Amino acid sequence: MNIKEYFVSIFKGFYSLIKGMEVTGVELVTPKVTEQYPENRAELHIPERFRATLEFIYDENGGHKCIACGSCERNCPNQKKMKLDKYMYDLGSCTFCGLCVQVCPTNAIRFSNDFEQAVFTRSKLIKQLNYLPEKDEPAPAPAPAAKPAEAPAATAPKQETKENKE
């Protein structure tokens, strides 16, 4: 190492020290913001694009559009497969990439905006989608029973009574 390289390295070190102190000085004088969580849950702003847990989208009649095609399961990069009979998934291994939502052909699932997902054990991160059993189709209303037409008195069979026998 020659003398020129020695002084250049000392200058670069001094320059990086000054740059770091500049960043620290700017942060020292900026106003601080303290979130009062959990007291301010009501006015807390969570961005619309925040991805938390998966949920079914239900229509106004309480039905969902999932056809159990499995495209969400096939496109999941974490190789943890959903069980489409129970709609279970592992939130602990989810990468929140959104591929399952994007590839759904019927737009049946979405990410919710609920950010409070802290648990103490990993087993509680195995979640079930907000699955509601399909509602039974209403039975068709029975057609009104047609009243049998009354037969005319002349063609109606006569009942035998004591008076008729005499």
Chunked into runs of 10 residues, the chain (166 residues) has average pLDDT values of 91 95 93 83 83 86 82 81 71 88 91 86 86 63 62 54 52
The pLDDT, as a whole number, for residue 132 is 67
Q: How far is CA 148 from each of CA 5, 144, 145, rounded to the nearest angstrom? A: 115, 12, 9
SS (HEC) of 74-136? HCCCCCCCCECCCCEEEHHHCCCCCHHHHHCCCCCEEECCCCCCCCCCHHHHEEECCCCCCCC
pTM value > 0.85: no
Q: How far is CA 41 from each of CA 37, 38, 166, rounded to the nearest angstrom? A: 7, 6, 97
The pLDDT, as a whole number, for residue 160 is 55
